Chains A and B, each alone.
Chain A
Amino acid sequence: MSLVQRPKPIANWFLPGILSGMGLTFSKLFWNLVTYVGGNRRIPTLNYPEEKYEYSPRFKGNHVLTVKKDGSLRCTACMLCATNCPADCITIVAAEHNDPTVEKYPISYQIDVLRCVFCGFCEEACPVDAIRMGPEWQTPGLNGASFNYDIMQLAYRPQLKGGIASVVDEKERHEAGI
């Protein structure tokens, strides 16, 4: 049930509304000017890009595909992330790996990041800690195509310095008899 609040007839008298709104704006302007001059800043806005905001470590930014200890992709191409994705922005093409202990791996993993809503459902669906949401959010591109991230961008971009290691290790699991 939603409560609909219809505008009261007083709302037709728009002049009081304008005046109260302008009053708020000018009082903020006045106090901001006074405090700015006084050096005691209380303005919530930042002078981007000179000043940057520190986000919490749980911030959901650009995706990272984690790697195994040998540097190869952790992803097994199970497509649970693509199934779970509400924006339908993940495209995976699976293939057979030469190594029978690996068996299945993605030859193509693409995220259409302009379609992505950064909900983090892919991260939650992943059974092997292969995809994580990283801290980056300033990712400009020259044209639309540069927002369709592939494996090179997702797992091996320069900022990741050779890749982020996954916590799930197949060999350890294998030796532990799982």
Chain B
Amino acid sequence: MSTNTIPCTINGKDVEVKEGSTIIEAMKANGVEIAHYCWHPGLSVAGVCRMCMVEIEGNPRLQIACNTQVVKGMKINNTSDKVKDAVKWTLDFHLINHPLDCPICDQAGECGLQDQYMHYGKYEPEMAEAKVKKHKVVDLGPRVVLDSERCILCSRCVRFTDEVSKTNELGIFNRGDRADISTFPGKPLDNNYSMNTVDICPVGALTSKDFRFRQRAWLLKEHQTVCTGCSTGCSTKVFFNKEGLFRVKPVYNEQVNGHWMCDIGRDVYKFVNKEARLFDAKVSGKGTGAGNGLGAEWILPKRAALKVGETLRANKGKGVALVLTGQHTVEEYDALLGFFKNDLGSDRVFHWVNTVGGGPESLEAFDGLLLRGDRNPNTAGLKESLQKFGIKTQWKELLEGLASGAITTVVVAGPENQTFFPDFKAKVVELSKAPRLIWLTAGKNLDLDNLTGDVTLIPLKSYLEKSGTFVNHAGLRQKIAKGLTIVPNALSLTEVAELFAGREIEAAESCSSIGVGRVQNEATTVRGSL
């Protein structure tokens, strides 16, 4: 790729563009608006929608911008009446068979057709014929539904399965106005990147089964973050409103994920929603208000952490071990390790390594596109922090310590996303051999709830509720910012470390909350009990 630039004129403005770039790329690079459907920066050029018409000086006819390369001194214009007229009536052709489904279409609100009609169209339709009826609600695979009436045959999804996922499930069948996107018989759209076709679909033809009909696009707010689904650390944004989180979409990041993300990463919002979360600290075992191991006491997380910290410091860290997972931020590791190393003088810190794919060799697995075998966002960061504090321990030392009774208290910074920890139950059984177990966890878990004995569960913040740094597999440091509050009283590991050390923490700054504030019709439940 040459880095030379060549001069050209776009809409009367002289600009320098990269040699070899197409007109549409030059326009995007210079912030010029241009109508388009089939062109996508991450895919090859198809040139089928004919929306990106431009006028080139010296050329009698209009050209498409996506498939024409810029040459030296080219004078390009896409604001002339001739171009506007061409775009308008091309749009009319696109909409000939497009149904009036906007009220029930999931794409409404973020739809290319709606936007471009308001921007370039606004014509009275001149089509007198009846619309061609095609298939509705076609099940393409486990995650995607097709409505072929809404499809405008831009072929983005077909090119995606051809070029990016390289699975070739989709194709265009039949001709003319009977043309139809579909899969081959017996071969559903079932690859780990299938939901990207939903994202790149400019209309509502491909919709996600997970998100289908759950919310309208305009009722959702978005927050940009980093995916915690694996050690690649794709840039993503989560969509939420006060009822909860609803979906995850990729954000363009040249260094990490390009335009895409995998389907596994799109499920990571589920464990953050309040149905899956622990809300208060649970203290069970001897000496609790609930009695001798018969029940549990639910108290404020902050109080529980202070109480635990007192006993930890009273024993001077004797027999205390810390278990960490690669699911928290670098700042949190540093704070907690700092407390254990400096305040307690303990070296017993252990790394709980999880393998989704079987043996330890699966940690190095890579599917060639984005997904990695190490399903933790920050394993590299954890290793870095452990090295910084000079900790070199093996998991079997913990087991030996538990067996010999040298370790009496285990503090576990448990995983946020328990679905990526197939050995979760086994580890709970293993670690509950400790006479005293303090488990810090974001999510609820039945195995943890069923534990009897001296157990303290403290709710943690999820990755959307705290700021910090994740280090991905390649050593790239990515900052995440606090975006919303789901569990108001939950603590981050930094706060836990502060409280363990007996220091007060600052009150959290406010930001948009889920399930807090007025919920629709909330008053009627109170009124109903009159």
Contact = CB atoms under 8 A, between A and B. Distances in A.
Interface in A104-163: 104, 110, 112, 114-115, 127-128, 143-145, 147-148
A145 B104 contact: no
B507 interface: no
B136 A101 contact: yes
B212 interface: yes
B17 to A, nearest CB: 42
Contacts of B216: 78-79, 83
Contact of A145 (B102, B103, B520, B528): B528
Interface stretch (B126-134, B313-321, B426-434, B455-463): B126-134
Interface of A: 76-80, 83, 88-91, 94-96, 100-101, 103-104, 110, 112, 114-115, 127-128, 143-145, 147-148, 174, 176-178
Contacts of B102: 78, 127
B146 to A, nearest CB: 11
Interface string B491-530: 0000000000000000000000000001011011011101
Contacts, number: 74
Given A91-B521, A101-B136, A145-B528, A127 B212 contact: no
Given A77-B104, A103-B136, A148-B521, 7 more contacts: A83-B218, A83-B219, A89-B521, A100-B136, A100-B137, A128-B103, A177-B131
B129 A104 contact: no
Interface residues of B, number: 26
A95 B130 contact: no
B136 A76 contact: no
B213 interface: yes
A80 B104 contact: no
B241 to A, nearest CB: 12
Contacts of A148: 521, 524, 527-528
Given A101-B136, A103-B137, A112-B521, A143 B100 contact: no
B214 interface: yes
B520 A88 contact: yes
Interface of B: 100, 102-104, 108, 129-131, 133, 136-137, 212-214, 216, 218-219, 518, 520-521, 523-524, 526-528, 530
Contacts of B137: 100, 103
Contacts of B528: 143-145, 148
A49 B518 CA distance: 37
B275 to A, nearest CB: 16
Nearest to A128: B103
Contact of B214 (A94, A143, A147): A94
Contacts of A79: 216, 219
Nearest to B128: A177
- 6 closest A-B pairs by beta carbon, nearest first, are A177-B130, A144-B527, A145-B528, A78-B103, A104-B104, A100-B137
A83 B212 CA distance: 18
B102 to A, nearest CB: 8
A127 B103 contact: yes
> Chain B contact residues: over half helix, strand or loop, or mixed?
loop
Contact of B520 (A77, A91, A143): A91
A144 B213 CA distance: 30
Nearest to A101: B136
A76 B521 contact: no
B100 A76 contact: no
Contacts of A91: 520-521
A145 B213 contact: no
A42 to B, nearest CB: 42
Most chain-B Cβ atoms within 10 A of its Cβ — which of A89, A110, A128, A144? Answer: A144
A110 B521 contact: yes
A157 B309 CA distance: 61
A145 B521 CA distance: 10
Contacts of B131: 177-178
A128 B101 CA distance: 11
A29 B445 CA distance: 75
A78 B523 contact: no
18 contacts: A77-B104, A78-B103, A78-B104, A83-B218, A83-B219, A88-B518, A95-B213, A104-B104, A112-B524, A143-B530, A144-B524, A145-B527, A148-B524, A174-B133, A176-B130, A177-B131, A178-B100, A178-B130
Contacts of B214: 94
Nearest to A177: B130
A114 B526 CA distance: 13
Contacts of B108: 78
Nearest to A110: B521
A96 B133 CA distance: 20
Given A96-B213, A145-B528, A80 B103 contact: yes
B213 A94 contact: yes
Nearest to B108: A78
Contact of B213 (A77, A100, A115, A127): A77
Contacts of A177: 129-131
Given A91-B520, A94-B213, A143 B104 contact: no
